[in-house]
Amino acid sequence: MLSYNLKLAMHSFKRAPSLYFLVLLTLSVGVGLLCANLALVSSMAGDPIPEKSGQLFHVSMNTWPNDQPQSEPFHILRYREAMKISESDIPKHSAVFYASGVYARDSESESLKRFDSSVRATTPGFFPLTKAPFAYGNGFAKSSGMEVVIGAALNQKIFAGANSVGKTLELDGELLTITGVLKPWSLRPLFYHATEGRAFNLTDDIYVPLETAIDLGWSIHARTSTTVSYKGVQFTRDRDVFYLQAWVELEDKTKQEAFQNYLDNYSQTLKDAGEHPLDILNELRDVNTWLSELKIVDQKVLAFTLASVLFLCVCVFNASSLLLSRFHSAKFEVGLRRAIGASNKNILIQGFTESVLLGLVAGVVSLLLSWLFLKLSITFLPDLANIAVLDPKLLLLGMLLALVTSVSSALYPLYRANRFTISAELK
């Protein structure tokens, strides 16, 4: 019966190609636009590390040395707090880092061409904590040493994607040896540095030991706060300069409580020494709570997504109206089929088969349109480049949405087609 219903659907499409094309276009534009918006929202609101987002915590402390301006916990820390966090054996892994930037080239290359590269100066725990995927080699074992890990994009630019472990990079005039190369690594959002409008930046080009970067004086390319003046990052270790972010991996509630106590006890020692004028307030926020508090989802995108949902409703009504006229013109055939033995159920299944077939085609067209909408968005808003991506989940959602809207569009026309007596339909 399925093959017969498919055959009837094809007949139906051939009888009114213009009308079905309009229905297809109406549904595809509606679904395509919504999918494109959902792609943006999904990238913005998605869980970047679902397998352990509930175990990774951003550390905020209010160790500001006077009561102005920061009474709330601060997302950046001094070197001394950062080291206190690194020293703790409560977390499974911890990562302390700041963002920087250098020019990079292959030290053995004859070419003097250098590549402007983003740097993450961090502790070794960064790699297991973020589950950074290695293509070759591994991370550095210590927070010091002239070693680096590089990202896939930089490895492609400098070494054409080959295994470059053991090779030496010249970074701002310093020679550092590559210990590992990452696979292409996309984190949407970039949870470990989602502050300062960087939530949708790419992962970094270079990962360097924290102490090495500080010793080399690689400048801080992120927010800093301080109550004192300093000449460079190499002079920040014992000063009230806030610039390091910290993440810890705490596997269960007990460890969370233990680490919270650890932070609070540390703050208490500062208070006892007269170095913590504010009330003690240290906070641990897991990945999704942290991203949610940062409000990284653009409210304009949310508003536009809501508008897309309403637009899709209008498209469904339009498609339904077009199909109503189609079913009205097919009233006689419906009557004839019922007269010769088709039940209401048979007619409904026939109609649903037609709408499912239409929905499948609309799904494919709408995904193509989504892709086009996203490309257009990037043309006008280049900042969206890293998040305007249709992932497999969205492709599936697009197909489902097209099917649901197509079937929904046919519901009322099918109800109308079956509500008359057969003799009335045959007149």
Q: Which residues sit at the interface with another protein, rule CB under 8 A?
A: 1, 4, 11, 14-15, 332-333, 336-346, 421-423, 426
**Smaller CB separation from another protein, 307 or 336:** 336
Instruction: Please say whether the beta carbons of 120 and 204 come within 8 A.
Output: yes
The CB-of-324 to another protein minimum distance in angstroms stands at 21
Burial 24-41 (b: 16+ CB within 10 A, else e): bbbbbbbbbbbbbbbbbb
Listing DSSP states for 188-213 in one string gives SS-GGG-TTTTTTSPPPSEEEEHHHH
Cα–Cα–Cα angle for 274, 223, 382, nearest 5°? 160
The CB-of-315 to another protein minimum distance in angstroms stands at 30
Tokens of 259: 């680490």
Amino acid at 132: A
The CB-of-40 to another protein minimum distance in angstroms stands at 45
Rounded Cα distance between 66 and 83, Å, is 21
The CB-of-413 to another protein minimum distance in angstroms stands at 19
**Smaller CB separation from another protein, 160 or 340:** 340
**Smaller CB separation from another protein, 52 or 331:** 331
Provide Rg for the chain, Cα atoms. 30
- State the pairing for strand pair 241-242/56-60: unpaired
Rounded Cα distance between 85 and 244, Å, is 11
Instruction: Please say whether the beta carbons of 73 and 60 come within 8 A.
Output: yes
Instruction: Please say whether the beta carbons of 321 and 376 come within 8 A.
Output: no
The CB-of-412 to another protein minimum distance in angstroms stands at 20
**Smaller CB separation from another protein, 10 or 381:** 10
Q: Is 202 exposed, middle or buried (0-12, 13-18, 19+ CB in 10 A)?
A: middle
The CB-of-343 to another protein minimum distance in angstroms stands at 4
Rounded Cα distance between 269 and 257, Å, is 18
Instruction: Please say whether the beta carbons of 24 and 372 come within 8 A.
Output: no
User: Which are the contacts of 158, defined by CB distance < 8 A and separation ≥ 6?
Assistant: 104, 105, 106, 109, 115, 150, 164, 169
**Smaller CB separation from another protein, 114 or 331:** 331
Instruction: Please say whether the beta carbons of 98 and 79 come within 8 A.
Output: no
The CB-of-2 to another protein minimum distance in angstroms stands at 12
The CB-of-24 to another protein minimum distance in angstroms stands at 21
**Smaller CB separation from another protein, 15 or 142:** 15
Rounded Cα distance between 217 and 236, Å, is 10
Which phi and psi (to 5°) does residue 114 adopt?
Answer: -120, 150
Rounded Cα distance between 215 and 351, Å, is 73
The CB-of-327 to another protein minimum distance in angstroms stands at 16
The CB-of-411 to another protein minimum distance in angstroms stands at 18
The CB-of-11 to another protein minimum distance in angstroms stands at 7
**Smaller CB separation from another protein, 372 or 424:** 424
Amino acid at 349: I
**Smaller CB separation from another protein, 260 or 418:** 418
**Smaller CB separation from another protein, 290 or 327:** 327
**Smaller CB separation from another protein, 299 or 423:** 423
**Smaller CB separation from another protein, 1 or 112:** 1
